[in-house]
Amino acid sequence: MKTPLLDYLLFFKPRPGFVVTPIIIDMNVIIFFLMVIAGLGFNEINAADLLALGGNYRPYTMGGQWWRLLTSIFLHGGIAHVGMNMVFLLVIGLFLEPMVGSGRYLVAYLFTGIAAGVGSMLWYSAVSVGASGAIFGLIGVFISMLISPIINWSAAKIVIGIVVVFIVYYYLYGFASGIDNVAHIVGLISGVFIGYLFYPAVKQRRVANQIRHKYGY
């Protein structure tokens, strides 16, 4: 018999059409709790420790350690940081990954996350970590799909509401606490761009799925 806890945990288990999102969430959560177990903190993790683990920092990244643009996406500065990001990633992923396909979804996540890291590196001199730039990138992909006939509006309305909450939260909180809003803006714009590139393939995927459902193969 399923329990509410089991139903909740199933969101973190990969399944057909929803593979990348739970894997990314699991990776982020595991990495964060490994940092906690290592004694680096819980509510807040020191910038020096985040830098040592692969945080994005202009002198190091531009000095040749370009891999930091990738590793920084999977690091977070505290429980609230990782928790909020993973909740919003789950919501957007549940809707977007089945729509665009897991391969394109992963490309969008990594591409926009790295693009956000580049923007952050060029604008700020502080250590930067977190998945929010990539999540804003996925929101950008979602926005590019909103003006297309691909969107199922009955489901999209819920996602739109949560996306608005996400954006408002990060911009209000960001301006108050110095959060990396440049990364969010770059992630969003790059997401819209890559979403338009994906559109023909996503449209073809939708037509193919409709044919399979109609004829049962």
Catalytic residues: 132, 184
Evaluated on CA atoms 167, 159, 88, 195, the torsion sign reads: negative
CA 47 from chain center: how many Å? 21
